[in-house]
Structure 1
């Protein structure tokens, strides 16, 4: 199955949403390459970046689920590269 690299930028505006966010990310853990979270106490937010290597439908499903969580803002950027086989 063809996969793509995607970067999700997530802004958490309320700490009450973090448990649901983490539970949802855990469901897709096998497709997550890396995660970086940066708390920003001055603005009372957290910024999280997620790198994925997954089929488009998986990336879209996760992005949609995260976007439905209250106080979570998310944007996804896709690489133009597709599966590893295409890059040999």
Structure 2
């Protein structure tokens, strides 16, 4: 199965969505290379960055699920490295 390396940027504006977001990231844990979360208290948001190596449909599925959470915005950038 071919995989791609990608980075996902997530901005969480609704703190009530954090528990569901963390559960989804745990579910996709085998594909996650690394994760960085930054609480930005002055704006009352959290910024999360995820590096992944997964099939493109898996990356897209996670982005879609996260983007459907209330107050969560997601952007994904894919590398051209396919392996």
TM-score, normalised to structure 2's length?
Answer: 0.98
Alignment-derived partner of residue 86 in structure 1: none
Q: Give the drift of 1:14.
A: 1.4
Deviation of 1:69 after TM superposition, in Å, equals: 0.4
Distance in 2 (CA, whole Å) between partners of 1:14 and 1:62 is 18
Aligned CA RMSD, in angstroms, stands at 0.5
- Unaligned 5+ segments in structure 1 are 84-88
Q: Which residue of 1 aligns with 2:55?
A: 55
Counterpart position of 1:72: 72
Aligned length: 83
Point out 4+ residue stretches in structure 1 off by more than 4 angstroms: none
Instruction: Tell me the equivalent position of 2:40.
Output: 40
Q: Once the 2 structures are TM-superposed, how far is the Cα of residue 67 of structure 1 from its aligned partner? A: 0.6
Aligned to 2:24: 24
Would you tell me which structure has more strand in proportion to its own residues?
2
Structure 2 unaligned blocks of 5 or more: none
Please give the alpha-carbon distance, in whole angstroms, between the structure 1 residues aligned to 2:82 and 2:44: 37
